[in-house]
Amino acid sequence: MTSLCAIIFLLATPAFAQTVGGGQQKLHQWDGQGFIDRLGSSVSNAGDVNGDGFADVIVGAYGADPGGLADAGSAYVYSGADGSLLYQWDGGAAVDLFGLSVSGAGDINGDGFADLIVGAFAADPGGLASAGSAYAYSGVDGSLLYQWDGGAGLDFFGTSVSDAGDVNGDGFPDVIVGAWGADPGGVLGAGSAYVYSGADGSLIHQWNGGASGDLFGESVSGAGDVNGDGFADLIVGAYFAHPGGLSNAGSAYVYSGADGSLLHQWDGGTPDVEFGGSVSGAGDVNGDGSADVIVGAPGGLFGGGSAYVYSGADGTLLHQWDSGATFGSSVSGAGDLNSDGFADLIVGAYLASPGGLVDAGSTFVYSGADGSLLHQQNGGATGDLYGHSVSGAGDVNSDGFADLIIGSWGADPGGRSSAGSAYVYSFHPFLVASTPTISASAGGVLDLTLDFPDTAAVQEYITLMSINGTGPIHYGVDIPLSLDVYLLDSAAGIYPFAIASNLHGVLDASGNATANITFPAGAFNFAIGRTFWLAAVSFPVGQLPAHSSVAVAVEIEP
């Protein structure tokens, strides 16, 4: 213990301000069953489809061959609670590419269960080659509620689909569908986006690209209520638009759900950045009460990649992150992953090569509050294309933390080339306290539950303390505590508590431990009104800490 204390004192350096501690742990994995199924090519939160109180998910596999129909495609709805398959829907003909786009749709028919929407952009409705189709399904029984079709060959209707929120204020969620190949007004490949009523399937809004080859509708999403008028708004990307004459710079547009008017337009600043290649509602990132949005600019074949978060209220840029390897090819709001009251974001870079694994892919989770990197997750093998699709998953395991779903359609599970995989991750704080307050007059017991990843099994652990806040400092990992005498003492196993047990020791075979601190009645009257913070770290014997928990705050009350 003494050596750990000394090393912390000598080597601990302040880390950049960010939320640290805890980590993402895999809850579910689903794999494609056939070669080149490309499961995970699209993923989305599905809402609570089966009414069990847990969020479910939907995953597309546009390369699946159901019934021997090559590339007809499939979409799968999985239970968030236990990972079981709830529904499977399949494309009706070869090369429909059903499942290229998927989304939760909200409860569009008002039966109390969340419904789903799936795109098949290469379907041939009425014999129109690749006109494309989109299908809305009931969450309660899997039945088809609506089918919408492209109006002309090569419309590629269903390229993108999303829930739209309640656009017209009738109490039913609506949906939005992109058709990047549409030729509105005879303008070749300008593209279009369509909003349909969840109540009756009728067309509410249609917006069109402004120039040939804009590919407007390549990406679509509900945006939330960005202008505070009580109606859900929408965002559409046109990643091949030429704003200011900049070839393929791309653009993104936010439209009013109430009247269809344009609220915001943002443009790529240089040629070929493909701004608008991905778009999503972001939630309320800056806490101003208005929904915000995120836009990806993956940069195509030119190795760029950026993602931008914009204020829904006034359109100003809130955050920008830049990288390479098609960073920004997928973007999504992630929910409040770190429980700081601000919505967080996830960005995919499916051609990233972490650790030299070419095209393994990576995903990055960012704090909405300050833009700092919270977590990075990488594909496990060359060519996984991990992060090709990303989405917030809702609270899949009902633990109070938002979860994530990530698609990796290039993965080879069981040696099946590009069968693809999809993964759900849940944030785990690694340390949970039984109460955030202790009464000085009454006393009490503070129970601590340590739940580190299985990889931390039988590692040593120690509970650290600070009275000066959450730092953080860096020592092997970022530790969310401020450097003070209490941190140094606790690193040496010295605590200001007369009665405590298991504040340091060895984790069990599952990486878990329990500890407690007893506060005798009246013994801490001197500390009334003060707060202290605890965090636990685990470390292999003789090595630097490998994991840190979040910080838990405990206030001494009268």
What DSSP string runs through 58-100?
Answer: EEEETT--GGG-TT--EEEEE-TTT--EEEEEE-SSTT--EEE
Tens of pLDDT, residues 345-402: 999 999 999 999 999 999 999 989 889 888 889 999 999 999 999 999 999 998 888 9
For residue 262, pLDDT over 60 is answered with: yes
Query: What is the mean pLDDT of the segment spanning 403-407?
Result: 98
Confidence of residue 300 (pLDDT cuts 50, 70, 90): low
Mean pLDDT of 259-285: 97
Predicted local confidence at residue 324, as pLDDT: 81
DSSP 549: P
Residue 229 located in a structural domain: no
Q: Does residue 189 fall inside a structural domain? A: no
pTM above 0.95, yes or no: no
Work out the burial of residue 454: count CB atoms within 10 Å of its CB; fewer than 13 is exposed, 13-18 middle, 19 or more buried.
exposed
Q: For 111, phi and psi rounded to 5 degrees?
A: -95, 5
Tell me the mean pLDDT in the region 462-486: 94
263-272, 336-345, 470-479: range with highest mean pLDDT = 263-272
With residue 233 as reference, give the H or E element that holds it. strand 233-238
- Spatial separation of the C-alpha atoms in residues 454 and 76, rounded to whole Å: 29
On whether residue 464 sits in a domain, the answer given is: yes
| Domain presence at residue 6 | no
Dihedral pair phi/psi, residue 538, rounded to 5°:
-120, 150
Segment 205-222 mean pLDDT: 98
pLDDT of residue 13: 45
Q: What is the pLDDT of residues 153-165, one digit of tens each?
A: 999 999 999 999 9
| 28 is a domain residue | no
H-helix or E-strand spanning residue 236: strand 233-238
Position 1 scores a pLDDT of 36
373 strand-pairing partners: 366
Q: Is residue 526 included in any domain, yes or no?
A: yes
How many whole angstroms separate alpha carbon 306 and alpha carbon 326? 8
For residue 361, which of 310, 417, 414, 420 has the smallest C-alpha distance? 420
Nearest to 292 by CA among 308, 276, 278: 308
Residue 446 sits in which domain range? 430-557
How high is the pLDDT of residue 18? 43
Structure confidence at residue 17 as a pLDDT band (50, 70, 90): very low
pLDDT band at 4 (very low <50, low <70, confident <90, very high): low
Q: What phi and psi values does residue 413 have, to the nearest 5 degrees?
A: -60, 135
457 pLDDT above the threshold of 70: yes
Residue 504 falls inside a structural domain: yes
Closest by Cα among 306, 157, 315, 158 to 235: 315
Label residue 256 by pLDDT band (50, 70, 90): very high
Give the rounded percent of residues in the chain with a pLDDT score beyond 70: 96
> What Å distances lie between residue 527 and 183, 307, 350, 438, CA to CA?
71, 46, 51, 11
What pLDDT, on the 0 to 100 scale, is given for residue 8? 47
Which CATH number characterizes residue 542's domain?
Answer: 2.60.40.10
pLDDT score at 337 = 85
Looking up tokens 């014997």 gives 541
pLDDT in tens, 235-245: 999 999 999 99
Q: What is the pLDDT of residue 400?
A: 83
What's the number of domains the chain is made of?
A: 1
Residue 3 pLDDT > 70? no
- Whether the Cβ atoms of residue 247 and residue 268 lie closer than 8 Å to each other: no
Mean pLDDT of 430-442: 96
Predicted local distance difference test score (pLDDT) of residue 225 = 98
Tell me what pLDDT residue 25 has. 86
Residue with tokens 């070869």: 94
Alpha-carbon distance 499 to 488, whole Å? 19
Q: What is the pLDDT of residue 303?
A: 63
Q: Across the chain, what does the average pLDDT equal? A: 94
Question: Residue 510 falls within a domain, yes or no?
Answer: yes
